[in-house]
Structure 1
Amino acid sequence: MATNEPTKPSRRFSQTTRERLASVGRHAVLLTWSFVVLFPLYWIVSMSLKPPREAISLPPDWIFLPTVYNYMQLAQESSFIAAFANSLVMVTASVIIVLLIGVPAAYVLSRYDVPKQRDVLVWILSSRMLPPIAVVIPFFVIFRALNLYDTRMGMVFMYVTINISLVVWVMKAFFDGIPESLEEAAKVDGATQFQAFRRVVLPSAKPGIFSVAIISFIFAWIELLFSLVLTNNRAVTVSMQVYQFIGVRQIEWGLLAAASTAIIVPVLVFVVAVNEYLAAGLSFGVVLKE
């Protein structure tokens, strides 16, 4: 005699449903978070493309005819163009110098038995332990004594000081993850220690090098406190020059948004240019030791 038992849903179907719901939930969270993160960027860019009156209109105009008026006005601000060029030259030079110093230093700390190596690493890291406000006045006194105040060379030195600990510590982790057997194989083939470093280790560490280069560029590019205290006229940076659009009685929102967008562009260009190595670098994607 047949019994009317309720049919149970298949376990496979329920598992598939749960996986789909989990996937939808993850995508919803990611989309929401992306919106939260990117909305301020959209707001700045859209404000820079609005006429001055529409830039501060409330409620905001979500649909508008874009204009480059603010960028044309910004291009006529010679002080901003000079500050932008200053920052671009000084920050680029500082990134090159900090890589030339920090990468070999990290390699030596990774491969050789340096006396009191742990103390050396802590000493290098100590340069980032103090808040900038605690060391800016001593730097001001030193810069005045060495005639580095308000000079591009002085700011390059300042940027290198800010980023050197980051480069050494991150790159040491990358070199620790590269097998020494690769260098030994290169030496067997007749390469010197420097040739093995240049031809074998550096190509394997490219993700890390580009990652620390980007981070160093960003840290130096957006730095404000040292620029405010250690510059006055000749070496003014772009982060300082943005404040010229904030007056006592009014704020030029259109020009301010255009200047902010212009500051973001070099970082985006840099990130896009090295995007091939960025993901692997930020996840420490190098060859692991066996």
Structure 2
Amino acid sequence: MATQDAQSATSSQRLDKETREKLVTVVRHTVLLGWSFVVLFPLYWLVSMSLKPPGQANSLPPDWIFLPTVYNYIQLAQQSDFLAAFANSVVMVAASVVLVLLIGVPAAYVLSRYDIPMQRDVLVWILSSRMLPPIAVVIPFFVIFRALNLFDTRIGMVLMYVSINLSLVVWVMKAFFDGIPETLEEAARVDGATQFQGFRKVVLPAAKPGIFSVAIISFIFAWIELLFGLVLTSFEAVPVTLFVYSFIGSRSIEWSMLAAASTAMIIPVVVFLVAVNKYLAAGLSFGVVIKE
């Protein structure tokens, strides 16, 4: 009798544990679904607004059921200024990401592996470039760009994007390089590799997740930047963010065209994230060796 009671109690405890686990799983999934709805609803609102006719885009109450149209996108594609600004942003942002990686990754490696005089001060000086608000430095940059004939040039905007993201790349990549044991490079040098070969064939593959992470962040920060494009360009090197901003007038806002241009602006970011995510996932699957 006592054995049966013990078995019943054990079964009841097991059932209660399984019930609690299922309840926790249901609650967790419900919370995640609710949060996903909150995060994705603005994107849905933007895309749906871009697919509505101009007179229906900002109607109140909103029309939840409507006949989608690509009229706004056709009008957008027929504007040569938008196509030129879009091409400017693609070229300038892509070039800035490549350049900031070429400068920032080796710099982070040197700061991680070598004892540089006043190294802490150098790191703080690099980080200080991100501490100032953009509005505080845009006027000095304007004066410098006019003096160097870089105003309204793609090269000038590329250099500006590099200056924005360089501190981020250096600090993040230094943390990754700090986590990679120097014994791996020593083993490569024992096998006959030079120091540069050890950096290229051993350290860089191990730091691949960090490289793609900072590439993604640098691309997004440069792609959405507006203030410097507003002050440092006028016609030739206008970025797409400035063209999107042009739909906001002093007396009215072209909501449908603004939504269409904003949606088109999101597409390159999504494409870049999807393309890089494959390599990022591959790098994470190999893992990064962390110092003990």
TM above 0.5, yes or no, is: yes
Aligned to 1:14: 16
- What secondary structure does 1:53 align onto? coil
Instruction: Tell whether 2:253 aligns with 1:251.
Output: yes
Deviation at 1:129, TM superposition (A): 0.8
Q: How does 1:38-49 map to 2 (within 5 A)?
A: 38-49=40-51
Q: Over residues 117-157 of structure 1, what are the superposed CA-to-partner deviations in whole Å (9 max), with x where a residue is unaligned?
A: 11111111010011111111111111111111111111111
Q: How does 1:124-273 map to 2 (within 5 A)?
A: 124-273=126-275
Correspondent of 1:80 among 79, 82, 106: 82
Correspondent of 2:102 among 100, 103, 110: 100
- What secondary structure does 2:55 align onto? helix
Amino acid across the alignment from 1:130: L
Instruction: Tell whether 2:62 aligns with 1:60.
Output: yes
Distance (Å, rounded) in 2 between the aligned partners of 1:42 and 1:248: 27
Amino acid across the alignment from 1:88: V
- Matched length: 285
Deviation at 1:280, TM superposition (A): 8.5
Deviation at 1:206, TM superposition (A): 1.0
Distance (Å, rounded) in 2 between the aligned partners of 1:104 and 1:47: 45
Greater Cα offset, 193-202 or 62-71:
62-71
Q: Over residues 196-242 of structure 1, what are the superposed CA-to-partner deviations in whole Å (9 max), with x where a residue is unaligned?
A: 11111111111111110010011011111111111111111111111
Gaps spanning 5+ residues in structure 1: where? none
Deviation at 1:186, TM superposition (A): 1.2
Greater Cα offset, 222-231 or 100-109:
222-231
Deviation at 1:35, TM superposition (A): 0.7
Correspondent of 1:113 among 112, 115, 129: 115
CA contact (8 A) 1:208 1:281 kept: no
CA contact (8 A) 1:186 1:196 kept: yes
Distance (Å, rounded) in 1 between the aligned partners of 2:154 and 2:66: 42
Deviation at 1:278, TM superposition (A): 4.2
CA contact (8 A) 1:87 1:237 kept: yes
Distance (Å, rounded) in 1 between the aligned partners of 2:59 and 2:48: 13
Q: 1:231 and 1:281, CA in 2 relative to 1: closer, same or farther beyond 3 A? A: farther
Amino acid across the alignment from 2:250: V
Deviation at 1:54, TM superposition (A): 2.4
Deviation at 1:243, TM superposition (A): 2.1
Amino acid across the alignment from 2:270: L
Distance (Å, rounded) in 1 between the aligned partners of 2:217 and 2:281: 13
Structure 1 runs, 4 residues or longer, greater than 4 Å off: 277-282
Deviation at 1:58, TM superposition (A): 2.5
Distance (Å, rounded) in 2 between the aligned partners of 1:279 and 1:229: 38
Aligned to 1:287: 289
Distance (Å, rounded) in 2 between the aligned partners of 1:88 and 1:113: 38
Aligned to 1:35: 37
Deviation at 1:247, TM superposition (A): 2.6
Amino acid across the alignment from 1:122: V
Distance (Å, rounded) in 2 between the aligned partners of 1:55 and 1:126: 43
- What secondary structure does 1:32 align onto? helix
Gaps spanning 5+ residues in structure 2: where? none
Distance (Å, rounded) in 2 between the aligned partners of 1:257 and 1:114: 50
CA contact (8 A) 2:208 2:280 kept: no
TM-score, normalising length from structure 2? Answer: 0.92
Greater Cα offset, 44-53 or 263-272:
44-53
Distance (Å, rounded) in 2 between the aligned partners of 1:175 and 1:96: 19
Amino acid across the alignment from 1:165: S
* Aligned Cα root-mean-square deviation (Å): 2.0
